[in-house]
Every structure is written in C-alpha cells, then in structure tokens.
C-alpha cells in the first residue's frame, strides 16, 4: 500500500512581534503579524504497512529519528487517528536552522498536512492546528496558510486578506540563536491591549511603520552583526529592515524585484553572509 509524495514547507518572517507578558505555563503572550515567504524545505513523506517513524535530514546537524519535531508530528497524528503505519520522512533543508524563519515548525506542519492527505485520514484543519500547537507555537500558522495576525502563544490566528506587494532580501550571518535564551533574557517593553496593536497594513508606508520586534534588542546585544546587517540592507536600498523572530536572520523590504535583486548581488559580492531574495506568499 506504499504511498509517497514530496511537499514544500515554506519559511516565514515576522513583520511585527510584540511580547505582551509571560503566562503561568511558561509561554509568552504574543501579538504578531506573520508572513509566509518563497523559501522552502522539501519534505518527502513515504507511508507503508508496518510501524515505526524514521526522519532523515542529510547534511544538517539537527535531531533525527524520534527526537525530531517532524517525527513527533507524525506520531501525534497517527495516535490521534488511532492507526499504525511505517512512516519515512526525508527533509532537504533550505531554510537555515535556528534562524528565526520557522523552518522546523513548517516541516512539522507539512508532515501533519501531508500525512493526513496520504493516509486519507480526513482530520480537519482545526484539529490539525490543535495537534500542531502541542508541538510548537509556530506550527498552527503554517497549517493555517497565508499571512495572519497571531495572538496567544501564536496559536490564535486571524487571516489577513491582503498585504502590500513587496520583495524581501533575507540575510543570515551563519550563527544559530536559541529561542529559549532570547526569551529568557527579554525585558518586557510592549504594552497596551492586543486590539490596539492589531494592524493590517494596506500600503507600503503603513507596512514600514509597522516593522517592530521586541526580541531584536536581546539578540542584537549578543550578536551585534544583526545591527550591522540592518544597516547594510538600508545602504543597499531597503525601505525598512527588521530581524525575524528570535533571529538572527534579518530581512530588508524592497518595492520591486529589481531593487531586491540589486541588493542581493551587492551583498553576495561584499559579504560572507547567506543572502536570499524572496517574495511573500498568499
């Protein structure tokens, strides 16, 4: 009964991220505008009769086997559906690891969506998002699909109908940042209720004014290269620049593909950072 298929797992950026407080369960209360982008991991899922879950991720130092978030996603879905299969997952990583781009969460979400389809389990999207939330705060967003306003720990999502037509240049300096360390060293600064923070930018100017990340000063204090990257992106023509998530990846905002490509070529030639040009996904 072998079935297999390859899926694309997109990265994301946070175009605004407010940390509103710490919850009794240890998580933080957040208010974020999240945007999926055209940078993908390739997730190949194969199912057959039998049992056991195997995850392979060639060339990347990350947990394999049962400790991988993708393996946990498969195990949780099979447990919920009350079925047993042999599942093999192969992940080709294109999204930098521990970079603020949600790659691991996207892989887990893609496993939930793909396995549900391959095995014809008919688990609805809301239930998949609930399972995803038990794996990681960003996983529901990738199941939800499209740009979204996220609150709670990131699991309460509201669709954003449209965003300005922009291009992004991503710059990653090649250091891995621990999300737990960043939150552990955060001094809360955002205030006000979620409704006042909620903004759906319709113009480029509104979008740029919205750029904000409470985690950026924390990461930048340990990795000053984040500030250097922001400055270089502005020098290369970005109309705004911000660190995504807990970093260290920084994105620059550009009004055209040509402007983004020009900045990409300049940064590629002048630095040893990893540079990528991406567009938003609807």
Catalytic residues: 12, 138
Instruction: Say how far apart CA 176 and CA 167 lie, in whole Å.
Output: 25
Contact between 28 and 19 under an 8 Å Cβ cutoff? The reply is: yes
Instruction: Say how far apart CA 135 and CA 73 lie, in whole Å.
Output: 7
* Closest-CA residue to 215 (of 237, 182, 192, 242): 182
Q: Is 126 exposed, middle or buried (0-12, 13-18, 19+ CB in 10 A)?
A: exposed
Instruction: Say how far apart CA 74 and CA 131 lie, in whole Å.
Output: 10
Instruction: Say how far apart CA 177 and CA 181 lie, in whole Å.
Output: 8
Contact between 102 and 13 under an 8 Å Cβ cutoff? The reply is: no
Strand-pair category, 148-152 with 240-243: unpaired
């Amino acid at each position: 009964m072998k079935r297999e298929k390859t899926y694309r797992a997109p990265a994301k950026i946070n175009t605004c991220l407010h940390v509103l407080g710490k919850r009794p369960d240890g998580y933080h209360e957040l208010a974020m505008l999240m945007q999926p982008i055209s940078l993908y991991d390739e997730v190949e899922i194969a199912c057959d009769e039998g049992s056991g879950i195997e995850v392979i991720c060639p060339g990347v130092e990350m947990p394999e086997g049962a400790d991988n978030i993708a393996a946990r996603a498969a195990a949780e879905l099979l447990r919920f559906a009350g079925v047993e299969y042999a599942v093999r997952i192969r992940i080709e990583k294109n999204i930098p690891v521990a970079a603020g781009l949600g790659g691991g969460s996207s892989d887990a979400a893609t496993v939930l969506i793909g396995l549900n389809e391959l095995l014809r389990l008919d688990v609805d999207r809301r239930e998949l998002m609930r399972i995803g939330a038990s794996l990681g705060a960003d996983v529901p967003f990738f199941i939800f699909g499209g740009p979204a306003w996220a609150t709670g720990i990131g699991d309460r999502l509201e669709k954003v109908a449209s965003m300005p037509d922009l291009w992004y240049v991503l710059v990653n300096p090649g250091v891995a940042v621990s999300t737990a360390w960043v939150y552990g060293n955060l001094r809360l600064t955002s205030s006000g209720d979620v409704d006042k923070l909620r903004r759906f930018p319709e113009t480029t100017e509104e979008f740029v004014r919205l750029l904000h990340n409470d985690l950026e000063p924390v990461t930048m204090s340990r990795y000053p290269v984040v500030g250097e990257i922001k400055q270089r992106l502005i020098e290369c023509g970005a109309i705004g620049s911000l660190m995504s998530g807990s970093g260290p990846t920084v994105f620059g905002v550009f009004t055209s593909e040509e402007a983004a490509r020009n900045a990409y070529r300049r940064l590629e030639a002048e630095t040893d950072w990893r540079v990528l040009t991406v567009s938003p996904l609807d």
